Amino acid sequence: MVVASVSQTLLRRFNFFDKEVVKDPETNQVFEKLKDINISSCASGRGQIVIADCEGTVYMINRKFQITAFKAYDIRVSHLYQLKQFNILLTVGEDEEGVNPLIKVWNLDKFEKGIPLCSRICRAIPSNKPTPVTCLTVHENLNWMAVGFENGCVVIFKGDVKSDRHSKTWTVYENQKPITGLAFRPTGKNTILFVATDNCVLSINLSAKDKTTILEQFGCSLGCSLMSDSNQDHQFVIGRQDGVYFYQPDCRGPCVVIEGEKLRLEWFRGYLIIVGKEKPLLKASSSHSLEMHTLTVYDMQNKFVAHTAPYPDVIDVLCEWGSLYVLGGDRKLYQLQEKDTQTKLEMLFKKNNYTLAISLARSQQYDQEGLIDIFTQYGDHLYGKGDHDGAIDQYIKTIGKLEASYVIRKFLDSQRIHNLTKYLQALHKAQMATEEHTTLLLNCYTKLKDVSKLDEFIMTKDREVDFDVETAIKVCRQAGYYEHALFLAEKHAKHEWYLRIQLEKIKDYQKALEYIGNLEFAEADDNLKKYGKMLMSKIPDQTTELLKKLCTDYRPSNRLLVDQSDLDGSVPKIQKASAEEFIHIFVNNSAKLTEFLEYMIKTKPNSPSLLYNTLLELYLHDIVHEGEDIEAKNEKQRRTLDLLQNPDANYDLDQALVLCQMNNFKAGILFLYEKAQLYQQILRYHMEHSENVHVIETCKKFGQHDPQLWVQALSYFAKKEESCKPQLMERNLLPPLLVIETLAHNSTATLSIIKDYIIRRLQLENDQIAEDERLIKQYREDTEKKRKQIEELKTTAKIFQNSKCSICSHPLELPSVHFLCEPHSFHQQCLESYAENDTECPVCLPENRKIMDIIRAQEQSKDLHESFHNQLERSQDGFSVVADYFGRGVFNKVTVITDSNARFSASPPGRNLSSQFS
Amino acid sequence: MSYAYLFKYIIIGDTGVGKSCLLLQFTDKRFQPVHDLTIGVEFGARMISIDGKQIKLQIWDTAGQESFRSITRSYYRGAAGALLVYDITRRDTFNHLTTWLEDARQHSNSNMVIMLIGNKSDLEARRDVKKEEGEAFAREHGLIFMETSAKTAANVEEAFINTAKEIYQKIQDGVFDINNEANGIKIGPQHSPTNPNMPSGGGSAGQSGGCC
């Protein structure tokens, strides 16, 4: 008995059942209607408790504790079996004296005169040797019934339990020892019957030729075996002095040491109920005459005692109406009402037995919310006890339901940072973390200096990111874990962050640059614009290289040269950045800028003007700041000039000019002036620099474009008192009056200087006049001659003496046509075939037509006043234009009506209009 | 789940050496720092694969307490393998090995493969029994030896699987009579059509879940 108490202390004890003596609901007195019944067997199910007595009566007690009874046997009832799924009661009893057990099957749904319908009566005798029945069991499928006998036989009744028909009976097992327990396994493919005897436990597979498996070499006493429910996998259970043993159909299962002599075993909702002999101590104290028993309820799954109490001489334990009913030797019914889960849990909480509470809640299919509530309470409890590690484990289980801030606030103390970290990690794993949580977690890591954890959190590749990347980067950056920040930034393509950290914190410019080089075009472009200046100041060479690439034919440097799109045959899209946007990057590094620009211009000749301008500026700047080295200076000037002269160079002329001027780059200025056709400027430039030779040259070179140059040169020289004027004068380009006027303005120029010039000019003029007059005279004579000719043609006869046709050169024959012009004569035949019309001489026609065209053209254009004015303005010699127009007959409106000859009288000199009309 | 063989194991050793934790780690892959005392015998099962063959391990985890010895002893019978466990931080558990071994040898069949396990190898700082001592003991008694940690799961799988390999080898060598179930070895249902009465795999799993 001492051992028994030891074993019981091993299991925790609770009282999860309320014990109550059943009262008669009618009288509200203790239920004592069973007082006088000599109880032989009890059963329960289908909403009633069934009790049989030794007088052959069966009593049925309903929920209201009303009793109905009927006489089942003449002599006595020894066994009852109530099916759980059918309202069928089986009884074993005797109608005759002697050992003569009869099995009766009662249908409790059909009553006849207060007696249920007895659907079957059969004798229970194994192999013709009468022997008392010890136990009876029925399979819930109503197809199998097994009866155990005192002589060690087990008889199987196969077929419908309710009727005799088609029933097959055989003895399945024989042994020397009485059968003490029988049970069908209610599940599984095979029909398994467990048999317990005094000295062994076995299973019989009725589906497989009654294959018998001995499971144990010891047995149990009557009433100490049962079939457990699904909680224990429908194992067969036997109770022995030393413990409780479980059996699978084919082998032993676990065993639990519960010592003490066992009288009865019952199974109720996963609880094992053991009725055992009371300890002598209590028995002695009891004044009751009845022997005291102890009833203990074990939770086999969670391993604790749910109830234990002494009862007087327990006859049976019945499970009905959701409670346990203990029928005591005092014929009283004791109800054991299981407490509800919440109450049980509260009891466990009070004892701070949270672990058990959790497993209990789980086994009772408690919902998630309830479980989390327990976790929270457990966590709070552990926290209160100072077990922060344990507490956090519990809190972690509440993630998703319990407000995270509740937990976090508890652990914000720096002492608890480990726990907090763990919690936050779990939070992230559960994907419940917010930005703040990420920040906090990373801060924890950094505070703890737990680089390995941080590594794990951040660096683990292929891991799904369960945190806000940007926050993580920020925190890492702040805490100085740049590598982590970089890793994150790179992995998640947060280029800006990557570069900021790389540049501002780590200052690894090379890496940053490489990173940019690996980016897609648009990103590379953006970032280089942003960080280019900084990169340029640190690693100009590489930056320049990258820029060159970016601005010409960019492709991320980690990309294969021939990528898929190339292979597909599609035209690779070349992206180029505009170089001008990067110029500002090169501030303070003109050498690199020069290099860059040169490269750009070389590779892309049609670059925007800004590039050229800038390059020019750089060149000029270079020249100015070049030291004494003449050669280098020349080289640079040459280079600059090359740029300027490059026909592709798309620089802005004005700006280039301003630049050249600012930097005093003579060659450039002059070239640009020339290019811009600013000849005056060239001239002035030379004048300003007193380069007389160049002045003259300029005049010579550009004089024909702009005669004003000469005038200016003249006035310049006039001011200069130098003797190069004759040269100018000899050019003979300026009207003498202008020359004189120009010189007259000048105080230094004396008449003597130009005396020769003037004389010469006058002489020339005179010659010209004379020549002109001679021409006039000649024209007049011509005109006169023509007039005479016309007159002649009009008045006198003309003799045609031609003997040959002017077309075919054959002697003329009649009929012939003669023209008055040369005179020309033709065969009429020839003329007709040759000439377009026969009113004009075909020989003279082309010449005449030409003249006529000229005249017509002149007449047409004479009315175009605007073009006349234009010409007049543009012309250096307005007079000749006017004269020309006179020649065209601007003013001779009259002539239109007069004789056509009058036209020619007005023709200007120099025009040879010797034409005749037929 | 069908299997080619079923091996029965038994885990023995002093109380508190971590027998139940070893089993829990092997069957459920978890560790429970606070564990109720094992009262009687508990039961766990897991499938492993050796040589491409599915082998079901049925493991009896016994109570280490002296007072339960009489009950647990009956489970030695019909075990093909035994894990004899001691705690490397408690020398007395090592000292009791001889008693355990005698007990095991006496109550089991002679071919039973016994693996000696020094558990709690994660508690290196509190080590009381040197690894070499364990090795020496194993050599002396013809056992396989291994140090494990049920907490960190170090060597736990190996301990169970190596034992199974040893048993498997013995079957191949014909040492075990596989038709005698008293040897703790059973041929799977699909390998012996005459023996269709087998426990369902689900049942064993449910059992292992409830063993703690």
How confident is the model over A151-160, as pLDDT tens digits?
Answer: 888 888 888 8
Tell me if A33 sits within 8 A of A52, measured CB to CB: no
Contact yes or no for A303 and B36 at CB 8 A: yes
Whether A243 sits inside 8 A of B71 (CB atoms) is yes
Which of A211-225, A347-361, A651-665, A667-681 shows the highest mean pLDDT? Answer: A211-225
Give per-residue pLDDT as tens, A171-230.
888 888 888 999 998 888 888 999 999 889 999 998 888 888 888 888 888 888 989 888
Q: Please indicate if any CB of chain A lies within 8 Å of the CB of B207.
A: yes
Pick A414 or A127 by higher pLDDT: A127
pLDDT band of A585, cuts 50, 70, 90? low
- The three-class DSSP label of residue A616 is helix
Helix runs in A646-724, H state only = 653-663, 666-676, 679-688, 692-702, 708-720
Taking only the tens place, the pLDDT of each residue in A61-111 is 888 888 888 888 888 888 889 988 888 899 998 888 877 788 889 988 888
Task: Give contacts of B203 with chain A, Cβ < 8 Å.
Answer: 233, 248
**Is the confidence at residue A526, as pLDDT, over 80?**
no
- Whether A914 has a pLDDT exceeding 50, the answer reads no
Q: List strands edge to edge, sheet with A102-112.
A: A76-82, A88-94, A102-112, A115-123
Average pLDDT over residues B106-135: 90
DSSP A89-147: EEEEEESSSSS--EEEEEEEEEEETTEEEEEEEEE--GGG----EEEEEE-TTSSEEEE
Cβ pair B91, B128 in contact under 8 A? yes
Q: Which of B34, B39, B75 sits opposite A257 (nearest CB)?
A: B39
| pLDDT higher at A60 or A624 | A60
Q: pLDDT at position B98, please?
A: 92
Enclosing H/E stretch for A280: helix A280-285
A656's CB contacts (< 8 A; 6+ apart) are A612, A613, A616, A644, A668, A672
- Quickly state the pLDDT bin for A784 (edges 50, 70, 90): very high
Mean per-residue pLDDT, A108-137: 84
* pLDDT level of residue A915 (50, 70, 90 thresholds): very low
Chain B contact present for A250, CB below 8 A: yes
B-chain CB neighbours of A9 within 8 Å are none
For residue A518, the Cα-to-chain-centroid distance in whole angstroms is 20
Closest CB from A190, A249, A255 relative to B40: A255
In this structure, how many other beta carbons lie within 10 angstroms of the beta carbon of residue A548? 18
Instruction: Find the mean pLDDT for residues B170-174.
Output: 86
Give the gap in angstroms from C-alpha B148 to the nearest C-alpha of chain A: 24
**How many A-B residue pairs are in contact by the CB < 8 A criterion?**
62
Nearest Cα to Cα of residue A98 among A68, A122, A74, A126:
A74
A216 or A656, greater pLDDT: A216
CB of A334 closer than 8 Å to CB of A34: no
Share the mean pLDDT of chain B. Answer: 83
Residue A5 forms contact with B (CB below 8 Å): no
Predicted confidence (pLDDT) at residue A722 exceeds the cutoff of 60: no
- Kindly list the residues from chain A whose CB atom is less than 8 angstroms away from the CB atom of residue B68: 257
pLDDT class of A163 with cuts at 50, 70, 90: confident
Give the closest residue to A695 by CA, choosing from A676, A671, A675, A714: A714
Q: Please compute the mean of the pLDDT values over residues A130-147 and round it to a whole number.
A: 88
CB-based contact (8 Å) between A200 and chain B?
A: no
- E strands within A725-879? 816-819, 824-827
> Touching check for B206 and chain A: CB below 8 Å?
yes
Q: Could you give the percent of chain B with pLDDT greater than 90?
A: 36
Give pLDDT, residue A47.
86
Min Cα separation A431/chain B (Å): 23
> How many Cβ atoms are within 10 Å of A846's Cβ, its own excluded?
9
- Which secondary structure element, helix H or strand E, spans residue A273, and what is its range? strand A271-277
Comparing CB atoms, the residue among B34, B39, B200 nearest residue A256 is B39
Instruction: Give yes or no for B209 touching A (CB within 8 A).
Output: no
pLDDT at A911 over 50: no
Higher local confidence (pLDDT), A609 or A43: A43
pLDDT confidence band for B85 (50 / 70 / 90):
very high
Give the pLDDT band (50/70/90) at residue B134. very high
Mean pLDDT calculated for residue range B153-159: 90
Average pLDDT of span A722-730: 53
Determine whether the interchain pair B196/A190 forms a contact, defined as Cβ–Cβ distance below 8 Å: yes
ipTM over 0.90: no
Task: Select from B30, B59, B19 the least CA-distant residue to B43.
Answer: B59
B5 in contact with A, Cβ within 8 Å: no
Max mean pLDDT among A327-341, A472-486, B123-137, B173-187 falls in B123-137
Gap from A400 CA to chain B (nearest CA, Å): 22
Higher pLDDT, A458 or A197: A197
Whether chain A has a CB inside 8 Å of the CB on B36: the answer is: yes
Residue A558 pLDDT > 70: no
C-beta separation of A190 from B197 below 8 A: yes
Mean pLDDT, residues A328-353 taken together = 82
- How far apart CA B94 and CA B105 sit, in angstroms, is 17
Read off the pLDDT of residues A615-640 as tens digits, 9 standing for 90 and up: 777 777 776 666 666 777 777 777 77
Range with the poorest average pLDDT among A262-271, A516-525, B92-101, B157-166: A516-525
Residue A352 has pLDDT above 80, yes or no: no
Cα A345 to Cα A342: distance, rounded to the nearest angstrom: 5
More confident residue, B18 or A453: B18
Q: What is the mean pLDDT of chain A?
A: 75
Query: Is A248 an 8 Å CB contact of chain B?
Result: yes
Residues A56 and A95: their CA atoms lie apart, in Å, by: 8
Q: For residue B88, give how far its alpha carbon lies from the nearest alpha carbon of chain A (Å).
A: 25
Instruction: Find chain A residues with C-beta within 8 A of B196's C-beta.
Output: 190, 208
A805 three-state secondary structure: coil
pTM score, two decimals? Answer: 0.60
Per-residue pLDDT band for A2 (boundaries 50, 70, 90) equals: very low
Name the closest residue on chain B to residue A218, using Cα atoms: B74
> Closest residue of B to A249, CA-based?
B199
**In residues, how long is chain A?**
918
Identity of the residue in B40, B43, B199 whose CB atom sits nearest the CB atom of A250: B199
Stronger pLDDT, A684 or A288, i.e. the higher one? A684
CA distance A418 to A389: 9
Distance from first CA to last CA of chain A, Å, rounded? 169
The confidence score (pLDDT) of residue A571 equals 46
Task: Compute the distance between CA of residue B119 and CA of residue B138 in angstroms, rounded to an integer.
Answer: 14
Residue A439 confidence (pLDDT) = 72
Nearest to B206 among A7, A233, A251 (CB): A233
Out of B43, B70, B203, name the one closest to residue A242 (CB): B70
Q: pLDDT at residue B196 above 50?
A: no
Residue A242 contacts B, CB cutoff 8 Å: yes
- Locate the chain A residue with the closest alpha carbon to B32: A355
String of b and e for A272-301 (b: at least 16 CB within 10 Å)? bbbbbbbbeeeeeeeeeeeebbbbbbbbbb
* Phi, psi (deg, nearest 5) at residue A432: -110, 5
Q: What is the pLDDT of residue A130?
A: 80
Cα–Cα distance measured from residue A266 to residue A44, given in angstroms and rounded to the nearest whole number? 12
Q: How confident is the model at residue A778 (pLDDT cuts 50, 70, 90)?
A: very high
More confident residue, A59 or A848: A59
Q: Which of B186, B144, B132, B211 is nearest to A256 (CA)?
A: B211
CB contact under 8 A, B207 and A254: yes
∠ CA A324-A327-A330 to the nearest 5 degrees? 145
DSSP states of A867-900 as a string?
HHHHHHHH-S-HHHHHHHHHHHTSS-GGGGTS-T
For range B182-200, the mean pLDDT? 60
> Would the pLDDT of A712 be above 80?
no
Comparing CA positions, the residue from A452, A503, A515 lying closest to residue A477 is A503
B-interface mutation test, from A209, A257, A296, most B Cβ less than 10 A away = A257
Q: Taking CA atoms, what residue in B is nearest to A6?
A: B67
In the predicted model, what is the mean pLDDT of residues A547-558? 65
pLDDT bracket for residue A467 (50, 70, 90): low
Residues of B with CB below 8 A from A242's CB? 70-71
Percent of chain A topping pLDDT 90 = 3
Question: What digits encode the pLDDT tens for the residues A373-412?
Answer: 777 777 777 777 777 777 777 777 777 777 777 777 777 7
**Helix/strand/coil percentages in chain B, nearest 5:** 35, 25, 40
Checking if the pLDDT of A42 tops 50, the result is yes
Q: What does the pLDDT average to over B135-145?
A: 92
CB within 8 Å of chain A, chain B residues 61-90: 63, 67-68, 70-71, 75
- Taking only residues 312 to 351 of chain A, the set having a beta carbon closer than 8 angstroms to any beta carbon of chain B reads none
CA A135 – CA A197 distance, rounded (Å): 11
**Per-residue confidence at A732, pLDDT binned at 50, 70, 90?**
low
B187 bridge partner residues? B5
Per-residue pLDDT band for A812 (boundaries 50, 70, 90) equals confident
Interface of A with B in 491-520 (CB under 8 A): none
